[in-house]
């Protein structure tokens, strides 16, 4: 399965724990042999979130940079461009449905490159029942599903 991960699952790599998300979730996906994708905007989001923790003195800058470097150099994680025409085109349409443009880019990256977007984001999950969302996905030729990590790990 080609699974594009939301930023949440990569936060532990920079030293930020996430309540309710298994710390070994990424390892479990890799062990199963799933193809792991991330949007390049995720790297920006990791740096931005890391910067907040650095500014507050909760993380040393080296921890954040080491984590991002580890992700970018991990051969089992494929980084997907976030600014190609199909991704931007769909993201602009999604912006009418989602309040955060970074989420629009991540969802659009998944829709254009993956089989599933793995996310805990409630606003993104709420889209599954909206007709306008279905129309946008169909127009983009996407059959990408939105699932939570536990759903994906259950198989």
Cα–Cα distance measured from residue 122 to residue 127, given in angstroms and rounded to the nearest whole number: 9
pLDDT digits (tens, 9 = 90+) for 70-88: 999 999 999 999 899 999 9
Query: Which parts of the chain have pLDDT scores under 50?
Result: none
CATH architecture of structural domain 2-154: 3-Layer(aba) Sandwich (3.40)
Q: Which helix (H) or strand (E) holds 146?
A: strand 145-147
Contact 38, 77 (CB under 8 A): yes
Domain boundaries, the chain: 2-154
Farthest-apart Cα atoms in the chain, separation: 46
pLDDT digits (tens, 9 = 90+) for 9-21: 999 999 998 888 8
Task: Report the pLDDT value the prediction gives residue 81, as an integer from 0 to 100.
Answer: 92
- 136 Cβ partners below 8 Å, 6+ apart? 90, 93, 94, 97
> Apex CA 66: angle with CA 44 and CA 121, to 5°?
40
| Entry pTM | 0.93
> Apex CA 63: angle with CA 62 and CA 67, to 5°?
115
């Amino acid at each position: 399965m080609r699974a594009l991960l939301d930023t949440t699952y990569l936060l532990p790599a920079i030293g930020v724990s996430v309540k309710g998300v298994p710390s070994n979730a990424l390892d479990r996906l890799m062990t199963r042999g799933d193809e792991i994708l991330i949007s390049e905007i995720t790297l920006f989001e990791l740096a931005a979130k890391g910067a907040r923790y650095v500014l507050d003195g909760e993380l040393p800058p080296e921890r954040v940079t080491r984590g991002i470097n580890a992700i970018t150099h991990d051969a089992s994680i494929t980084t997907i461009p976030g600014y190609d025409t199909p991704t931007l085109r769909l993201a602009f349409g999604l912006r009418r449905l989602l309040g955060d443009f970074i989420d629009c880019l991540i969802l659009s990256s998944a829709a254009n490159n993956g089989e599933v977007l793995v996310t805990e984001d409630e606003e993104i999950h709420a889209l599954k029942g909206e007709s306008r969302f279905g129309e946008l996905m169909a127009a983009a030729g996407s059959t990408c599903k939105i699932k939570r990590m536990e759903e994906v790990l259950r198989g």
